[in-house]
Structure 1
Amino acid sequence: MKKLTIRARLTLIYGGLFLLAGTVLLAVTYVLVDQRLTHGLGFNLRGSGSRSVPLPQSGTPITAEQAETLRGLVRQVQEDARQDALDSLLTQGGVALAVVTVAAVAFGWLLAGRALQPLNQITGTARRIAGADSAGRGLHERIALDAPADEVKELADTFDLMLERLDRSFDGQRRFVANASHELRTPLAINRSLVELAITRPDAPAELRQLGETLLAVNERHERLIDGLLTLADSENELSEHTEVDLAEVAGHLSDQTAGRTTLAVSVDLNPARTVGDPVLLERLAQNLLDNAVRHNVGEGGWMTVATTTVGGRAVLTVTNSGPVVPGYEVESMFLPFRRLNRERAAGNRGFGLGLSIVRAVARAHGGTVHALPRPGGGLIVTVSLPTPGTG
């Protein structure tokens, strides 16, 4: 059974109280009128009642039997008049009560809606913030409730204070990641230059060159981590560039590059899929999808398919790859930063767990979505859906 809303409950309570009060008032009025009619209309002949009505002096005597007959007729007239008055009171009073109750319910509905308007404003603000593209986005919005100082006003002000604190916290976190990543890039670049200079010297021994190559590999890994963190931080900020991009062109270019550096069978099915956003971030999104497909293909006979199309006003990019079977319960964890599948950690996979988290962050920054489904035969089907130009 569907639960009633607060507005409906308040309306029913208001209408029920009014109906109860009207019913009690009608009952009291009925009793008072009944008593009044009983005493007000009571009269008999020759002073034998509450009112005495003299008989006409016609000179003709009235027998006791005739007098009793007259009294019976008078009592019948009294009873009929009283009953007609009470029936009229009940009928007209009931109709009036029903009409006024309906009006009271309608008025109660409007009054309850007006009373709940501040709560609706709070709910709307919370829903917009919760539906923001990514964590922390939308926290700049405030309720700013313009109402008298009461409990609802206090709730709205407390909610605004909480939003302000959360906004500062998320903003500080993004700035810290971006600043730390920028600061770390410089020493890593210096280290790479020094190591390359050392191992390219003509008199460098073989042990030094082997050590230098190892250090370069470690340095490159750290540079990729810093680059991933910067991309993740940038994708969680507001887009600074809005350029029309065809995902088919991006996917085609990256597919050619991927086919040239892997033994996988790469096939494409590219149809126009135009969207609007940051070209650098969109290229990184597609690149991470392809890198993820390559990384999760092990053994001989691996393949991947890249497809783009436009469906229902959405630009869709789909990357399908073969590989080991992925449990359905592990799919969502693949989109979390620094999270890898259990089998990847056991196999010593050197990834950072940032690839798909960057894909989701970039998709959300562009007002899109990304979903992954495990293939029955192994591998993944990852689909990115972005709005086309003009759809927002």
Structure 2
Amino acid sequence: MKTHPPKKRPVKQKRRITLRARLTLIYGGLFFAAGIVLLGVTHVLFAQQLDRGGDLSVHSDSSGDASSGRDAPSDSLTWVADEQKRLHDAATASLITQGGIALTLVGGVAAGFGWLIAGRVLAPLHRVTDTARRIASAPAAGRGLHERIALDGRDDEVKDLADSFDLMVEQLDRSFDGQRRFVANASHELRTPLTVGRALVELAMHRTTASPDVKRLGEDLLAINDRHERLINGLLLLAGSENHVPERQSVDLADMVTHVTAQSTPEAEKAGITLYEEADQAPTTGDALLLERIVQNLVENGIRHNSGDGGWVRVTSRTLEDGRAEVEVSNTGPEVPPYEVPTLFEPFRRLGTERLVTAKGAGLGLSIVRSVARAHGGNVTARPRPDGGLTVTVTLPHHGRIPPRG
């Protein structure tokens, strides 16, 4: 019975405060702090001035009464002190209340202007971010590198950042363009001599004067030539499979499983391996030839790297609960250490062998599977079977849903 790993709960991303909001808070906070300090200093100076004026008034009144020879009534001094305290408290309250209101209003206006100014200052950074996001979300690597920021304006740190970004993108564009030209030229330059060599060998083998030794040599040369052709075709497909899939059409992986199984049955029977097919509906979208190549590579890999007579390969297609399409290929074979599984997806890598091309294949099967799956927005996982062999699972997006790249 197959067990599925527990589903991971989506991690909620914390709401972040934008740089514009942080700058506004900093501007506003500094303004309010400076305003509170200014209001406090004003209050202290105002209170000192009031106290000094009151003392002078009382002292003057006391001197006048003494010079006239009469003692000032105690209630008059008390009344003057009370009036002085009342005026001091009223002036202080008025200063704090009205000053606080004025500080709040002016601080709000300052924060608003700070928000607008921060937006103007950060506008070039938004332009850099938008351009980088468009390039990163391009449907294939290297397809959006023609865009440039081309930021105009004053020569400052932001313009230096934009110019450095444009320079980096330009260099990447040249690199990808050179890679595309190399693949196009290699497709012709590498296939042509192999085709000519195959034709010459077949011509020599089919001559009436050809000896048995020549025919055996021709068969060996044709086998070597065929192995080289598979290697070159695999390399070219691996180089081009990560490109954008321009035309997507609705396909059912079940049809591909049935077709590939029927084609691979003679090869499996010749190797003494039984093919099992469980083709349930698994609709998805993509390039039909590339998706068929996924199933074909997995089946061929299961047949070639098997235990021989009595072995089996099981090909299954299904639709998951969330609507994604899945194809799974399991096979018997030698035991696969878990730590060796990630290296099997590297080019020219096979279990227990060096990076050499052998008669069993070029070591590109699983690399091509992973590359094609990623080009379609899917993913590939592999796990060793307890009794030996491997189980490879390819999961593709829901029918009609194309996830963004990146």
Q: CA separation in 1, counterparts of 2:62 and 2:37?
A: 33
Are 2:284 and 1:275 aligned?
Answer: yes
Structure 1 equivalent of residue 4 of structure 2: none
**Residues 294/91 of structure 1: CA separation in 2 closer, same or farther (3 Å cut):** farther
1:301 to partner: Cα distance: 3.9
Partner AA of 1:286 in structure 2: V
Greater Cα offset, 108-117 or 186-195: 108-117
Q: Which runs of 5+ in 1 are unaligned?
A: 56-60
Q: Report whether the alignment pairs 1:298 with 2:307.
A: yes
Deviation at 1:6, TM superposition (A): 4.2
- Name the amino acid aligned to 2:252: D
- Could you say which residue in structure 2 is the equivalent of 1:118? 124
User: How far did residue 137 of structure 1 move?
Assistant: 3.9
Q: Residue 210 of structure 2 corresponds to which residue in structure 1?
A: 204
SS at match of 1:64: coil
Letter of the 1:78 partner, please give it: Q
SS in 1 for 2:208: coil
Residue aligning to 2:168: 162
Separation (CA, whole Å) in 2 of partners of 1:63 and 1:391: 104
The separation in 1 between residues aligned to 2:300 and 2:54, in whole angstroms, is 102
Whether 1:266 aligns to 2:275 is yes
CA distance in 2, matches of 1:363, 1:267: 23
SS at match of 1:343: coil
- Aligned ranges 1:72-91 → 2 under 5 Å: 72-91=78-97
Contact 1:270 1:306 in 2 (8 A): yes
Provide the C-alpha distance between the structure 1 equivalents of 2:150 and 2:144, rounded to a whole number of angstroms: 15
Moved more, 211-220 or 308-317: 308-317
Contact kept in structure 2, 1:43 and 1:53, CA below 8 Å: no
Give the 3-state SS of the residue equivalent to 1:261 in structure 2: helix
| CA deviation profile, 1:204-226 (whole Å, cap 9, x unmatched) | 22322222111111100111122
Bigger Cα displacement from structure 2, 357-366 vs 327-336: 327-336
Equivalences for residues 91-102 of structure 1 within 5 A = 91-94=97-100, 96-97=102-103, 101=107
- Contact 1:273–1:309 (CA under 8 A) maintained in structure 2: yes
| In 2: Cα distance, 1:168 partner to 1:113 partner | 34
Deviation of 1:381 (Å) = 2.3
Q: Match for residue 226 of structure 2?
A: 220
Aligned residue for 1:269, secondary structure, equals strand
Aligned to 1:340: 349
Q: Is the 8 A contact 2:329 2:393 kept in 1?
A: yes
Report SS of the residue matched to 2:397. strand
3-state SS of paired residue (1:213)? helix
CA distance in 2, matches of 1:248, 1:318: 11
Cα drift, residue 153 of structure 1: 2.2
Q: Give the TM-score normalised by the residue count of structure 1.
A: 0.82
Shift of 1:249: 0.9
Residue-by-residue CA offset, 1:134-187 (whole Å, 9 max, x unaligned): 543432333344655432123212212221221121121122122112222122
CA contact (8 A) 2:328 2:391 kept: no
Alignment of 1:1-392 (within 5 A): 6-7=19-20, 9-42=22-55, 44=57, 47-48=60-61, 64=71, 66=73, 68-94=74-100, 96-97=102-103, 101=107, 104=110, 108=114, 111-130=117-136, 132=138, 134-145=140-151, 148-262=154-268, 263-311=272-320, 312-336=322-346, 338-345=347-354, 349-350=358-359, 351-366=361-376, 368-377=377-386, 378=388, 379-389=390-400, 391=402
Asked whether the 8 Å contact 1:276–1:389 carries over to 2, the reply is yes
Unaligned runs of 5+ in 2: 1-13
User: Do the aligned partners of residues 360 and 128 (structure 1) sit closer, same or farther apart at CA in structure 2, a change above 3 Å counting?
Assistant: farther
- The CA deviation at 1:387 is 4.6
Distance 1:214 1:232 in 2: 27
1:191 is displaced (CA, Å) by: 0.9
* Offset of residue 62 of structure 1: 9.3
Percent identity over the alignment? 50
Q: Deviations for 1:282-301, whole angstroms, at most 9, x for unmatched residues?
A: 22222122222223323444
Equivalents in 2 of 1:236, 1:102: separation in Å? 53
Contact 2:139 2:244 in 1 (8 A): no
> Which residue identity is paired with 1:247?
L
Q: 2:141·2:243 contact (CA, 8 Å) conserved in 1?
A: no
CA distance in structure 1 between the partners assigned to 2:186 and 2:161 by the alignment: 37
Q: Which moved more, 1:293-302 or 1:41-50?
A: 41-50
TM superposition shift of 1:64: 1.8
Q: Per-residue CA shift, 1:238-274, capped at 9, x if unaligned?
A: 3354333222211210012223321333222323333
Deviates more, 1:92-101 or 1:174-183: 92-101
CA distance in 2, matches of 1:12, 1:296: 64
- Distance in 2 between residues matched to 1:110 and 1:214, nearest whole Å: 77
Q: How many residues align?
A: 382
Which range moved further: 174-183 or 5-14?
5-14
Secondary structure of 1:47 counterpart:
helix
